[in-house]
Amino acid sequence: MKIAVVGTGYVGLVTGTCFAEVGIDVTCIDIDQKKIDNLRHGILPIYEPGLEEMVSRNVEAGRLHFSTNLGEAIKDCDVAFIAVGTPPGEDGSADLKYVLAVARGIGENMNSYGVIVTKSTVPVGTAAKVRRELEQALGKRGVQIDFDVASNPEFLKEGAAIDDFLKPDRIVVGVSSERAEEVMRKLYKPFLLNGHPIIFMDIPSAEMTKYAANSMLATKISFMNDIANLCEIMGADVNMVRKGIGSDARIGTKFIYPGIGYGGSCFPKDVKALIKTAAENGYDMQVLKAVESVNDAQKEVLFNKVRKHFGGDLKGKKLALWGLSFKPKTDDMREAPSLVIIEKLLAEGCTVSAYDPVAMPEARHTLHDTITYAKDQYDAVIDADALLVVTEWPEFRAPNFEVVARLMKNKVVFDGRNIYEATEMEQAGFAYHCIGIRTHH
C-alpha cells in the first residue's frame, strides 16, 4: 500500500512513521519548508520519546519520505490522511480552514481511487465538507475519479505516542462504503494482530467519539480538582479520597489525580468546540461548561497559594519553577498551566527562574526573555523565595532536598502535582503546600 499523511506535527509525524514501521510506503507532507528540510536531515520538529530513532530507521529503509509537494505525493495513493491542525477560531469552534485547504489540494491532484481520511479532530459534519471540497476540485478539472471519505480520529497521548499508535486501545473508523472499510481494515491489519480492536461505525459517530472521549477525560480532571479544593477546605486528604474511590472498578484509578488544571493542544480546544457545536444546534452542554470554568480557576490555584503565603505581596520575590510543558515527556507548551502562573507572577513584580528538561526552547517562543531559563533543576532554585512544581517530570520526583534547601533563600515548596509527602517535606524543614490537602502553613 502507498499512503500520504498531510500535516507533519505531533499526530501526522507519528502516524506516518508508525505506518512506515510496519512496512507501508509513506510520504509525509507539510507546507512548512523548513520542517521538511529538517526532517530530511533527521531533525524533528517536536520532542516525542523514541520518535527520532524510528524516523531515521524508516527513512534509511526507503519507506518514509518527506515532501512539501502534495500534488506529487498524492499520486497513486490508496489512502490520504489529513492530519493538519484544527485550532479554535475566535468563537471557540474548530477552525477548518487548514483541513479544507488540504482536501481541495487532494482533489486538484489525485489521479486514482483513494480514501481521504480526516485524522485531525473535526466536528461532526466535517467529512461531508471534505467530500464537497473534493467534488468541487474534481469538477473544476472536469475529471471523474472515485473516492471515499472516512473519519479516523487519533487517540494518541503526547509523551507515549508511539506505543499508543502501535498498540492502540482501539482504532475508530467512520466509513460510508464497504470499499472504504475494506481499504482501512487492510491498512490497519498489522496493528490488529495482537488483538487490538478496530471499531467501524458511521462517519458522524466517529467524529463525535473523539470529542466525547476528550470531554470525558477533561471532566474527570475537573471533577477531581473540584473535590480536591473541597477536601482542603474541609480537612480531608484528596490523596486518600482518590485511592478510596479509584478502587471502585466503575470509577477506575486513572485520570483522577488532582493538579493545576488540564492544558495541551487538545482538551481545552476540544471541550470548547463541543460546547460550541452543541450551542449552534440548540443544545446546552451544562456539564462541559462547568468543566471548563473549574479548569480556568484551577490554573490559578497555585498562584493564589503563593500570594496568600507571602501575605499578598509578591513584589521582588524570586520564584523557581520546575516544569513548563503541560505534562511530562513532551515539549508541547500549548495552553500549559505554567503560562498562566508565570503571567500572574510577573504581573505581581516577581522574577521567575524556570527549568524544564525539554520544553525550554519551545517556551522561549512564547515567554521570550521575561523569565530566566536555568541550566538544571538545582540552578533554578538558587536564592529562590519559593519553589513551584508545575510539571511532574520523573526527575523532579526524588530530588536531593538537602541541596535544594541549601540553595534556596526560603524553604517553601508549592507542589502543584502532589508528588511529595507533606510529612516528609515538613520534617525536612520546608513549608509545604500541595493540592487538596490542608498543610500546616
Active-site positions read: 266
Q: Does 3 bind ligand NAD (CB under 6 A)?
A: no
Q: Does 7 bind ligand NAD (CB under 6 A)?
A: yes
Q: Does 156 bind ligand NAD (CB under 6 A)?
A: yes
Site residues for ligand NAD, window 24-63 (CB under 6 A)?
29-32, 35
Q: Which stretch binds ligand NAD (CB under 6 A): 82-90, 171-179, 366-374, 418-426?
A: 82-90
Q: Does 120 bind ligand NAD (CB under 6 A)?
A: yes
Q: Does 276 bind ligand NAD (CB under 6 A)?
A: no
Q: Which stretch binds ligand NAD (CB under 6 A): 95-103, 132-140, 168-176, 177-185?
A: 95-103
Q: Does 9 bind ligand NAD (CB under 6 A)?
A: yes
Closest CB to ligand NAD among residues 9, 436:
9
Residue of 4, 5, 10, 241 that binds ligand NAD (CB under 6 A): 10
Buried b (16+ CB within 10 A) or exposed e, 185-200: eebbeebeeeeeebeb
Question: What's the min distance (Å) between Cβ of 219 and ligand NAD?
Answer: 18
Q: Does 101 bind ligand NAD (CB under 6 A)?
A: yes
**Sequential DSSP letters for 106-158:** HHHH--S-EEEEE-S---TTHHHHHHHHHHHHHHHHT----EEEEE------T
Distance CA 268, CA 273 (A): 9
N-terminal to C-terminal alpha carbon distance within the chain:
63
Question: What's the min distance (Å) between Cβ of 35 and ligand NAD?
Answer: 6
Coil, strand, or helix at residue 61?
coil
Give the HSE-up count for residue 267: Cα atoms under 13 Å, Cβ half-sphere: 25
Closest CB to ligand NAD among residues 161, 228:
161
Q: Which amino acid is at 237?
A: D
- Tally: H helices and E strands in the chain: 18, 14
Distance CA 424, CA 6 (A): 50
Residue 394 is classified by DSSP as G
Q: Which stretch binds ligand NAD (CB under 6 A): 81-89, 109-117, 303-311, 319-327?
A: 81-89
Residue of 4, 5, 8, 219 that binds ligand NAD (CB under 6 A): 8
What residues pair up with 174 in beta bridges, in sequence order?
A: 151, 201
Contact 341, 321 (CB under 8 A): yes
Q: Does 12 bind ligand NAD (CB under 6 A)?
A: yes
Contact 333, 362 (CB under 8 A): yes
Q: Does 172 bind ligand NAD (CB under 6 A)?
A: no
Residue 95 is classified by DSSP as P
Residue of 3, 4, 5, 6 that binds ligand NAD (CB under 6 A): 6
For the chain, how big is the Rg over CA atoms in Å?
Answer: 24
Residues whose CB falls within 8 Å of the CB of residue 53, separated by 6 or more in sequence, listed in order:
none
Q: Does 116 bind ligand NAD (CB under 6 A)?
A: no
Q: Does 154 bind ligand NAD (CB under 6 A)?
A: yes
Which residues of this protein are in contact with ligand NAD, per CB under 6 A?
6-12, 29-32, 35, 83-86, 98, 101-102, 120-121, 154, 156, 158, 265-266
